[in-house]
Amino acid sequence: MFPELFDTRSFREAIDRSADWVVTNWGATIEAAFSPLLRGLVLLEQGLLWLPWYVLIGAVCGISFLITRNVKLPLGVGILLFLIGAVGFWDDCVRTIALMLAATLVSLAIGIPFGIAMSLSLTVRTIMRPLLDIMQTMPSFVYLIPAVMLLGPGKVPALLATVIYAVAPVMRLTDLGIRQVDPDVVEAVTSFGAGDWQKLIHAQLPLALPTIMAGINQTMMMALSMVVIASMIGAGGLGYQVLQGIGRLEVSRGLLAGLSIVALAIVFDRIAQAYGRRMQTSLHMNDE
């Protein structure tokens, strides 16, 4: 038995009291600050739900055809999405896609600038690294429940949790990608009088793009893997079906919903990979 060195109760009470204080005094303000985000999320979800299913599937197939110029990927993607609809999860699937896309966009908006800052500054990197480790390993519920207390249940805390979990890969790989850029190219650009911003735009970002794209893909996958957790705080979607399956001890429902999440993951992974390959070709970087 580990000796009780000090009484943690008062310590824990202090934490709880300060959390309560924040919820009581700042909750309404913070919730109001996030309400535009909620409206955006609702709009995105309703927009996607408003589209007839065949239009949405067609659009995804069309995008994948434009990327690959090949019928294999669009065909596979179309079949997978059709199957998800066929087992009765179309609306939940669309909700999950909406949340995943929104979380990915927010993650990119945060992750790429921070990744750039990490690549340029050792200080930022030293601070961000452990922070990213915490964000990826801290069980989500630890911060989710306080987030629900602050923001109420639903899409906003789900989005935040997903972003916290999914932002790390794109941040890490942006950092890595930029630091791996051929120093000769950066030096050459500098020698012609490029400023920091021009260096970034002309050389570092385009050359790091394939690595950043891999990060975006991973971020998307991790966002998808959060759908069940997100549903546990009221985000709905395919994760909700999984929870219902668990709650009712319906193995079939849980399995089908789980497989649908896997199918979605495959769809987006393959599209993102194909896009990454296409970009690499159009950047003419295969042999460099």
Partner 1 sequence: MNNTAKPKIVCRDIFKIFGKTPAKALELAARGVSRADILSQTGNVVALRDISFEMAAGETFVIMGLSGSGKSTLIRHFNRLVEPTSGSITVDGEDIVAMGKARLREFRRRKVSMVFQNFGLLPHRTVLDNVAYGLLMQGRPKAEQRERAAYWISQVGLAGYEGHYPRQLSGGMKQRVGLARALAGEAEILLMDEAFSALDPLIRGEMQEQLASLQKELGKTVVFITHDPDEAMLLGDRIAILREGSIQQIGTPEQILLEPANDYIARFVKSVNRARFLTAGQVMISFPVLAEKGLTREAACAAMADSNVDHVFVTRDGALAGVLTKDALQESSKGTGGIHVTTSCKTSMPLEQVTPLIARSSLPVAVVDLEGRVVGGLTRAVTLRSIGELTARSSA
Partner 2 sequence: MRIGLALAATLGLWLTSGDVVHAADCGSADEISITELNWPSGAFFANLHQIVLSKGYGCNATLTPGDTASSTASMAARGKPDINPELWVDNVKDFWAKVTAEKKVYAAGHPVIEGGIEGFFIPKYVAEAHPDLKSITDLAKFKDLFPDPADPSKGVLYTCQPGWSCEVLIANMAKAFKLDSTFNLFSPGSSAALDATIVKAYQRKEPIVTYYWAPTPLLGKYPMVRLEMPPYVEGTCNNDKNCTSPKPSDFPPGKIVTAVSTAAKDKAPGPAKYLAAFTIKNQVVSQMLAWADDNKATPADTAKQFLKTHEEIWTKWVPADVAARVKAGL
Residue-wise DSSP of 18-65: HHHHHHHHHHHHHHHHHHHHHHHHHHHHHHHHHS-HHHHHHHHHHHHH
**Residue 35 contacts partner 2 per CB under 8 A:** yes
Query: Please, which residue, 92 or 175, has the CB nearer to partner 2?
Result: 92
Residue-wise DSSP of 233-255: TT--SHHHHHHHHHHTT-HHHHH
88 binds, among partner 1, partner 2, none (CB under 5 to 8 A by kind): none
Q: Which of 184, 197, 249, 252 binds partner 1 (CB under 8 A)?
A: 184
Chain positions 267 to 286 lying near partner 2, rule: CB under 8 A, are none
**Residue 207 contacts partner 1 per CB under 8 A:** yes
Query: Please, which residue, 3 or 193, has the CB nearer to partner 1?
Result: 193
**Residue 195 contacts partner 1 per CB under 8 A:** yes
Q: Look-up: residue for tokens 């943690």? A: 8
Residues contacting 170, CB < 8 A, separation 6+:
107, 108, 111, 112, 115, 212, 215, 216, 218, 219
Alpha-carbon dihedral sign for residues 34, 141, 242, 59: positive
Binding to partner 2 by CB under 8 A, coded x per residue (else -) over 214-253, reads -----------------xxxxxx---x--xxxxxxxx---
Binding to partner 2 by CB under 8 A, coded x per residue (else -) over 145-164, reads xx-xxx-xxxx---------
Q: What are phi and psi of 7, to 5 degrees?
A: -80, 115
Query: If residue 209 lies in a helix (H) or strand (E), which one and from where to where?
Result: helix 205-225
**Residue 180 contacts partner 1 per CB under 8 A:** no
Round to whole Å and give the CA distance between 110 and 24: 28
Query: What torsion do the CA atoms of 17, 21, 22, 27 make, to the nearest 10 degrees?
Result: 130
Query: Please, which residue, 125 or 202, has the CB nearer to partner 1?
Result: 202
Q: How many CB atoms lie within 10 A of CB 245?
A: 18
**Residue 187 contacts partner 1 per CB under 8 A:** yes
Q: Which of 97, 144, 208, 216 binds partner 2 (CB under 8 A)?
A: 144
Instruction: Yes or no: say if 268 and 216 are a contact pair by the CB < 8 Å rule.
Output: no
Helix (H, G, I), strand (E, B) or coil at 226: coil
Chain positions 1 to 20 lying near partner 2, rule: CB under 8 A, are 9, 12-13, 20
Token digits for 274?
């194909």
Q: Which of 6, 7, 252, 288 binds partner 1 (CB under 8 A)?
A: 288
Chain positions 227 to 286 lying near partner 1, rule: CB under 8 A, are 283-286
225 binds, among partner 1, partner 2, none (CB under 5 to 8 A by kind): none
**Residue 189 contacts partner 1 per CB under 8 A:** yes
Q: Which of 202, 246, 266, 273 binds partner 1 (CB under 8 A)?
A: 202
Binding residues vs partner 2 (CB under 8 A): 9, 12-13, 20, 23-24, 27-28, 31, 35, 38, 42, 141, 144-146, 148-150, 152-155, 231-236, 240, 243-250
Binding residues vs partner 1 (CB under 8 A): 182, 184-185, 187-195, 198, 202-203, 206-207, 283-288
